Structure 1
Amino acid sequence: MDMIWVILIGVGALIAGVALGFFIARKYMMNYLKKNPPINEQMLRTLMMQMGQKPSQKKINQMMRSMNNQNNK
């Protein structure tokens, strides 16, 4: 009878730990993305200029669309 309680408490603690870990990780990632946003058009334009390319708006739009499509897959 005592062994059943030990197993139930262990399973309950495991489930609570997984749920708590999920919410902590979710909160951490939301804060991280807020502080470090994914690449945007201005970052892409600067990157291309540093590589010696003169970026046109058409080229930037094309690269942004390509990155968004890749992220959605």
Structure 2
Amino acid sequence: MWTEILVGIVALLAGIALGFFIARRYMMTYLKKNPPINEQMLKMMMMQMGMKPSQKKINQMMSAMNKQTK
């Protein structure tokens, strides 16, 4: 009886841990393929804030965001 309960608890914990790592890997892969902000979106945001975005400034902001995500 105790062994059945112990096996059930171990299986539950293993399933939770495995599910966590699978979900984490999936999300990291998804975010690499589909970054949340791209250059076009950044340019539009800057224009809405009343700034005139130069390509140099956009590249600097994109590289800063990429460094932050790594």
Task: Calculate the TM-score normalised by the size of structure 1.
Answer: 0.68
Q: How many residues align?
A: 69
Answering whether residue 5 of structure 2 is matched by residue 6 of structure 1, we say yes
TM-score, normalisation: structure 2: 0.70
Partner of 2:54: 56
Partner secondary structure for residue 49 of structure 1? helix
Unmatched tracts of structure 2, length 5 or more: none
Question: Following superposition, which runs of at least 4 residues in structure 1 exceed 2 angstroms of deviation?
Answer: 16-23, 25-30
Overall identity of the aligned pairs, in %: 57
Q: Which runs of 5+ in 1 are unaligned?
A: none
Alignment of 1:36-47 (within 5 A): 37-47=35-45
Cα deviation code 1:5-41 (max 9, x no counterpart): 2211221233224424554x358747x75xx741000
Counterparts of 1:40 and 1:50, CA distance in 2: 16
